[in-house]
Amino acid sequence: MPTIKHTFIGPIRQALTLSNLPLKGALKDEQMEIISEAGILIKNDKIHQIGSYWDIFPEAQSIGAEIVTLKGDFVALPGLIDCHTHICFGGSRAQDYALRNAGKTYLEIAKSGGGIWDTVTKTRKASLEKLAQLTVQRANRHLKDGITTIEIKSGYGLSVEEELKMLRAIKLADENTTADLTPTCLAAHIPPKDFEGTHRDYLKAISEEVFPILKEEGLANRIDAFIEETAFTSEDIQSYFQKAKEMGFDITVHADQFRTGGSRVAIDFGAISADHLEASTGNEIQILANSNTIAVALPGASMGLGVAYTPARKLLDAGASLAIASDWNPGSAPMGDLLMQAAVLGTYEKLSNAEVLAGITSRAAAALNLTDRGQLHSGMLADIILFPTNDYREITYQQGRLKPFKVFKRGVEIR
């Protein structure tokens, strides 16, 4: 007989379930379900019951649940989800900060041979084990901050073998951290300088040689591409995405970061998400709002590069679904503080608490096609974080300085 473990947590001053919120469009704080004096009964790795502490407590006691009695005021949220990162990489790009502040743009640095290619060189030098170790360290830092699910892209390998090395490193990292890691193949990050052939030859080689192995080894079921001047054009990517779709991969796109075009590709291919969108204008906002593609804002990249934020307010008001992610990477977004960045985006874009919090929980889960997390209700994974406050509004108000006091991942207390 498999052993069943019950854990009961409470009393929780406010539990924000983030359930029953529409997936798309603007949200008001009043739409959030808040359970006061809540208790959460966990059965193994899932939420068994959530409701009034005093209603559930007798049952929890009678079934011999481990009781985690909270002393003080706490607000519970679902574990945060970072649906866009690049935390598997070697080296640093600290020199880029000074270069950019001295007047060079991100694209100029890229064109002069630095930028992403610089990280490719450093990542190729690192062994699979070393990359896995670095990835685990970064994932664990996120986990302490309450981020229990983390998407991680390849894209610093840029050859058949090196992309596979990265994705195998992410798989190994997943086995060595309590956080859940969702891998994405971003072999179409930039055209590799050392590939003999055209950009399209490179993409063809990846789709023929890497895609089948992703399936065989279970390395990723998501394919991403960077549509940009220094990366791939909308035309370049057509047959690559076509092949990916035929093979059943989810599509996601680095879109409209510096110029438009990517969001159109995302929608044409029914992408699950279009990420960046700093350069999106009214037309792109409208087509995204009319689609089921989730718009992902990456405020950390705007902060890193000193450029405009994704027009989050306009996207939401037009009816789009908006998730918020850190884009944690060595180039444009080295900070990697999801909650801080989401709260600051909220300040600049006039987002409600509901919009910010859904953006890093339920809507971020949707951007990863994950239906078992991002909300607190029975049947969901017991990914639960507790902030030491009596008022949920403190979480965004303190712009990331208020850290979770406790983090439960799949029912296990890790902090």
* Residue 327 touching Fe ion (CB under 5 A): yes
* Closer to ligand NIG by Cβ: residue 9 or 116: 116
* Closer to Fe ion by Cβ: residue 10 or 336: 336
What is the rounded distance in angstroms from the CA atom of residue 154 to the CA atom of residue 96?
Answer: 21
Enumerate residues 6+ apart whose C-beta is below 8 A from 12. 35, 37, 38, 39, 40, 53, 70, 74, 75, 76, 386
Minimum separation from the CB atom of position 281 to ligand NIG (A): 19
Residues touching Fe ion, count (CB under 5 A): 1
* Closer to ligand NIG by Cβ: residue 86 or 363: 86
Buried b (16+ CB within 10 A) or exposed e, 38-59: bbbbbbeeebbbbbebeebbee
Interface region with Fe ion, contact rule CB under 5 A, candidates 17-25, 98-106, 323-331, 387-395: 323-331
Minimum separation from the CB atom of position 69 to ligand NIG (A): 43
Task: Please name which of 133, 15, 23, 143 lies closest in space to residue 79, comparing C-alpha atoms.
Answer: 143
Using CB under 6 A, which of 90, 331, 346, 359 touches ligand NIG?
A: 331
User: Cα 204 to chain center, whole Å?
Assistant: 28
Strand locations in 25-161 (E): 34-43, 46-52, 66-69, 75-78, 80-82, 147-153
Tally: H helices and E strands in the chain? 17, 16
User: What is the footprint of ligand NIG within residues 88-147 (CB under 6 A)?
Assistant: 115-116, 119
* Closer to ligand NIG by Cβ: residue 60 or 312: 312
- Report helix, strand or coil for 186: strand
Minimum separation from the CB atom of position 84 to Fe ion (A): 6
* Residue 226 touching ligand NIG (CB under 6 A): yes
* Closer to Fe ion by Cβ: residue 325 or 384: 325
- Nearest position to ligand NIG, beta carbon: 331
Task: Please name which of 394, 299, 280 lies closest in space to residue 349, comparing C-alpha atoms.
Answer: 299
Interface region with Fe ion, contact rule CB under 5 A, candidates 137-145, 196-204, 320-328, 407-415: 320-328
Phi-psi region of 276 (alpha: psi -120 to 50; beta: other; left: phi over 0): left
60, two tokens: 């929890």
Interface region with Fe ion, contact rule CB under 5 A, candidates 5-13, 57-65, 95-103, 319-327: 319-327
How far is the first Cα of the chain from the last one, in angstroms, to the nearest whole number?
Answer: 30
Minimum separation from the CB atom of position 3 to ligand NIG (A): 43
Strand ranges across the sheet with 222-226: 80-82, 147-153, 180-188, 222-226, 250-255, 273-276, 294-297, 322-324
Residues touching ligand NIG, count (CB under 6 A): 14
User: Using CB atoms within 10 A of its CB, is residue 276 exposed (0-12), middle (13-18) or buried (19+)?
Assistant: buried
Give me the 64-93 binding string for ligand NIG, x by CB under 6 A, dash otherwise. Answer: ----------------------x-------
Give me the 381-410 binding string for ligand NIG, x by CB under 6 A, dash otherwise. Answer: ------------------------------
Number of C-beta neighbours around residue 31 at 10 A:
15
* Residue 332 touching ligand NIG (CB under 6 A): yes
What is the rounded distance in angstroms from the CA atom of residue 22 to the CA atom of residue 342?
Answer: 19
User: Could you say which of Fe ion, ligand NIG, none residue 224 binds, taking C-beta under 5 to 8 angstroms by partner kind?
Assistant: none
Minimum separation from the CB atom of position 254 to Fe ion (A): 6
* Closer to ligand NIG by Cβ: residue 332 or 352: 332
* Closer to Fe ion by Cβ: residue 327 or 355: 327
The residue type at 130 = K
Interface region with ligand NIG, contact rule CB under 6 A, candidates 162-170, 215-223, 264-272, 328-336: 328-336
Name the residues that contact Fe ion, by CB under 5 A.
327
Name the residues that contact ligand NIG, by CB under 6 A.
86, 115-116, 119, 226, 254, 257, 301, 327, 329-333
